[in-house]
Structure 1
Amino acid sequence: MPTTSSPSSLANPETVAAIRLTEFSHGGGCGCKIAPAVLSRLLASSNMPLLPPDLLVGTETSDDAAVYKLNDQQAVIATTDFFTPIVDDPYDFGRIAATNALSDVYAMGGTPLFALALVGMPLGKIPEEAIRLILAGGQDVCKAAGIPVAGGHSIDTLEPIYGLVGIGLVHPDKVKRNNAAQAGDVLILSKPLGVGMLSAALKKGTLSAQGYADMVRWTTKLNTPGIALAELPEVHAMTDVTGFGLAGHLLEICRGSSLSAQVTFDAVPVIPLAAEIAQSGIATGASKRNWDGYGSSMLLPPGCELWKQNMLSDPQTSGGLLIACAPHVADQVLGILRAEDFSEAAVIGRLATGAAQVQII
């Protein structure tokens, strides 16, 4: 079992170690999101009768958060994200879920203000010590982001669930949407892919201690460069890569911006161990559900290996920023990312005019 990073002062280590949080959930992290095809059908008949002019971002483009203009200098960002455990360690679960939730604020170019905790726990099945560790993990991430957990809501549930409501601020003219990309933009990915692969190996009990460390490293790394990227007008669009995988979230950019994309697979950063796991034939069920939902809009090269397809649709929990920017600021964007220790950030492709689809080369 991978080593825990829980603060020992908060709970009896033996009591906590006896609990495997992932055994309580049918799917973990962003892999438990509703499949894109199903979600599309569920939302197809929904409508919003009230569309105030100050609602800058709503549900119309599957963006990361809602944005409401307060005045000429300020707009409030509101988002929520929660899920079932992706790891067994309670403290790490809390940290991962909180980092993932705050990512949507950064992806819109915003600065977090405060958070509200969303807690659902099967009381009587999970010890209170473990629940306290989950909450502590979330609070520590919020502390690192410079914000308080100002309240929340809790219920007794069949599966453990934890996440946050994230509230942030952004200048109305600096909001980074997912539908404003331009033809000729280059695509930059800030974090390597493969979290879903690592979580699948963890569920099977085959993930090494190093693999677990890699998983926690990336899933607890706040996407703080989004704040600085908001200051660049040449960064035209931005989103974070989460449950629908790189392919799915890039396709949202393409559809919202009425563009096509070309991605060089070998340029895409991938966690090395995750690539080995994928090549061994392991994949998450969510990866297949994702591909079933949008695979018809993906153009793969002849003879493309299945593991590469699975990696493109691999659900990323607390994944990286996917950035569309003018080519002449690509080096500046990479410099911002690497200055905040996103060392694997890379240019992975380009956008062009054409039907909303993604070509892999």
Structure 2
Amino acid sequence: MTALDTSNTGALPDSKPTPRLTSLSHGGGCGCKIAPGVLSEILKNSSNLPIPPELLVGIETADDAAVYLLNENQALIATTDFFMPIVDDPYDFGRIAATNAISDVYAMGGTPIMALGLVGMPINVLPLETIGAILRGGQDVCRDAGIPIAGGHTIDSVEPIYGLVVLGLVHPSRVKKNSGAQAGDVLILGKPLGVGILSAALKKQALSAEGYACMVATTTQLNKPGIALATMPAVHAMTDVTGFGLLGHGLELARGAGLQMQLQLDQIPLLPGVLELAAQGMVTGASGRNWASYGAQVALPAGISAAHQALLSDPQTSGGLLVACAPEAADEVLACFGAHGFADARVVGQMLPGQGVQVI
């Protein structure tokens, strides 16, 4: 297969060629996240702030969004997410960034109600048409989610940045924290892994057109099953797998519950071709930073390949929901994913007494 041509044929008013979006940023998508270990050090004193009783979910377990109690029937979910380009097509970049931001509301079990745009662009570098296409991509995803972009903020920045603040609502009894898993729960992953691998190949202009289409399809699929999953009492915990990879977000779930997460390597779904690309060295720097931050808390099977290890810490932009549920509810959870078009959802492990993550 030939590599995808990601060049942008647009031109600035002075006839200079428009640069590739990914060439303007030092990292892309959720791979831009600060490494987990560094972030933990930065935030170590943040818990000293006063916490009102209405704040049902804050920063205590690094959950996906904040949740604030409004009344006995409603809680407000608030989250924000933004990053630099992971692709060169501006419309696709906008769609991916918006899908990723809205996901945190679904991961808490909520229904999004509105968004605010966060826009930082190098105004003297990118044509206004390119910036407009980014915003249009975000607007179209919000339309699919059934919410308006009701405002926002823009700045002139060195690197292109786009994302959203997203607000949602959930019944207080249906909030799905990342800390609620129980011993014996099975783990279900909604989307296959490998977005970071594909993005690395794209940046090196080694990604096929088929690979690019696959990457855009998975990163623009809204995690809408989260709304229905929140109504199931046997679903005990949810989170979405994003920049820290499956291992990193799995560790957050395990720590919050005071349990060990056991993952079955051969059951973890992967995007087509990513194992081969990883074996060719198409990995992001964020994958290595992730592993350096939490690798000591992960037990890997003997003989695991470097490619497989990279995929477990691979940063997922707009990744899938990771659900902990009672074993008897697994079929119902998988059926919910299937009804929303998530054909690759799989049981990938279980929660056991202990700590950390074990991969078998």
> TM-score normalised to the size of structure 2?
0.96
What one-letter code is carried by the residue in structure 2 that aligns with 1:358? V
Report the 3-state secondary structure (helix = DSSP H, G, I; strand = E; otherwise coil) of the residue aligned with 1:47: helix
Partner Cα separation in structure 2 for residue 270 and residue 182 of structure 1: 26
What one-letter code is carried by the residue in structure 2 that aligns with 1:252? E
Which position in structure 2 is the counterpart of 1:357? 356
Partner Cα separation in structure 1 for residue 233 and residue 271 of structure 2: 31
Partner Cα separation in structure 1 for residue 213 and residue 18 of structure 2: 20
Partner Cα separation in structure 1 for residue 78 and residue 207 of structure 2: 35
- Structure 1: any 5+ residue segments left out of the alignment? 5-11
Partner Cα separation in structure 2 for residue 282 and residue 50 of structure 1: 44
Which position in structure 2 is the counterpart of 1:179? 179
Partner Cα separation in structure 2 for residue 283 and residue 134 of structure 1: 26
Report the 3-state secondary structure (helix = DSSP H, G, I; strand = E; otherwise coil) of the residue aligned with 2:261: strand
What one-letter code is carried by the residue in structure 2 that aligns with 1:258? G
Structural mapping, 1:259-270, within 5 Å: 259-270=259-270
What one-letter code is carried by the residue in structure 2 that aligns with 1:97? A
Partner Cα separation in structure 1 for residue 99 and residue 350 of structure 2: 28
Which position in structure 1 is the counterpart of 2:211? 211
Partner Cα separation in structure 1 for residue 29 and residue 170 of structure 2: 27
Which position in structure 1 is the counterpart of 2:115? 115
Indicate conservation of the 8 Å contact 2:82/2:97, yes or no.
Answer: yes
Which position in structure 1 is the counterpart of 2:168? 168
What one-letter code is carried by the residue in structure 2 that aligns with 1:217? A
Partner Cα separation in structure 2 for residue 247 and residue 61 of structure 1: 15
Cα-to-partner distance string for 1:21-57 (whole Å, 9 max, x where unaligned) = 0000000000010000100110112234321111000
Cα-to-partner distance string for 1:274-332 (whole Å, 9 max, x where unaligned) = 12101223211000000000000100111211111100000000000000000000000
Partner Cα separation in structure 2 for residue 142 and residue 272 of structure 1: 28
Q: Identity of paired residues, percent?
A: 64
1:190 aligns with 2:186: no
What one-letter code is carried by the residue in structure 2 that aligns with 1:14? G
Indicate conservation of the 8 Å contact 2:47/2:60, yes or no.
Answer: no
Partner Cα separation in structure 1 for residue 233 and residue 296 of structure 2: 33
Give, in angstroms, the shift of residue 3 of structure 1.
Answer: 7.1
Give, in angstroms, the shift of residue 124 of structure 1.
Answer: 0.6
What is the count of residue pairs matched by the alignment? 353
Report the 3-state secondary structure (helix = DSSP H, G, I; strand = E; otherwise coil) of the residue aligned with 1:317: coil
Partner Cα separation in structure 2 for residue 212 and residue 300 of structure 1: 30
Which position in structure 2 is the counterpart of 1:242? 242
Structural mapping, 1:329-344, within 5 Å: 329-344=329-344
Which position in structure 2 is the counterpart of 1:14? 10
Which position in structure 2 is the counterpart of 1:229? 229
Report the 3-state secondary structure (helix = DSSP H, G, I; strand = E; otherwise coil) of the residue aligned with 1:227: helix
Which position in structure 2 is the counterpart of 1:83? 83
Give, in angstroms, the shift of residue 207 of structure 1.
Answer: 0.2
Partner Cα separation in structure 1 for residue 263 and residue 36 of structure 2: 21
What one-letter code is carried by the residue in structure 2 that aligns with 1:89? D
What one-letter code is carried by the residue in structure 1 that aligns with 2:160? P
What one-letter code is carried by the residue in structure 1 that aligns with 2:326? A
Which position in structure 2 is the counterpart of 1:256? 256
Structural mapping, 1:6-85, within 5 Å: 14-15=10-11, 18-85=18-85
Which position in structure 2 is the counterpart of 1:8? none
Which position in structure 2 is the counterpart of 1:326? 326
Partner Cα separation in structure 2 for residue 224 and residue 19 of structure 1: 34
- Structure 2: any 5+ residue segments left out of the alignment? none
Give, in angstroms, the shift of residue 13 of structure 1.
Answer: 6.6
Partner Cα separation in structure 1 for residue 75 and residue 320 of structure 2: 24
Report the 3-state secondary structure (helix = DSSP H, G, I; strand = E; otherwise coil) of the residue aligned with 1:272: coil
Report the 3-state secondary structure (helix = DSSP H, G, I; strand = E; otherwise coil) of the residue aligned with 2:238: strand
Partner Cα separation in structure 2 for residue 319 and residue 2 of structure 1: 23
Partner Cα separation in structure 2 for residue 51 and residue 14 of structure 1: 50
Which position in structure 2 is the counterpart of 1:155? 155
Partner Cα separation in structure 1 for residue 202 and residue 91 of structure 2: 16
Larger mean Cα displacement after TM superposition, 133-142 or 274-283: 274-283
What one-letter code is carried by the residue in structure 1 that aligns with 2:137? G
Give, in angstroms, the shift of residue 2 of structure 1.
Answer: 3.8
Partner Cα separation in structure 1 for residue 227 and residue 279 of structure 2: 36
Partner Cα separation in structure 1 for residue 97 and residue 48 of structure 2: 29
Partner Cα separation in structure 2 for residue 48 and residue 353 of structure 1: 30
What one-letter code is carried by the residue in structure 2 that aligns with 1:302? A
Report the 3-state secondary structure (helix = DSSP H, G, I; strand = E; otherwise coil) of the residue aligned with 2:115: strand
Which position in structure 2 is the counterpart of 1:9? none
Partner Cα separation in structure 1 for residue 275 and residue 283 of structure 2: 11
Indicate conservation of the 8 Å contact 2:4/2:205, yes or no.
Answer: no
What one-letter code is carried by the residue in structure 1 that aligns with 2:123? L
Partner Cα separation in structure 2 for residue 58 and residue 298 of structure 1: 26
Structural mapping, 1:279-294, within 5 Å: 279-294=279-294
Indicate conservation of the 8 Å contact 2:5/2:205, yes or no.
Answer: no
Give, in angstroms, the shift of residue 19 of structure 1.
Answer: 3.3
What one-letter code is carried by the residue in structure 2 that aligns with 1:360? V
Q: How large is the RMSD of aligned CA atoms in angstroms?
A: 1.3
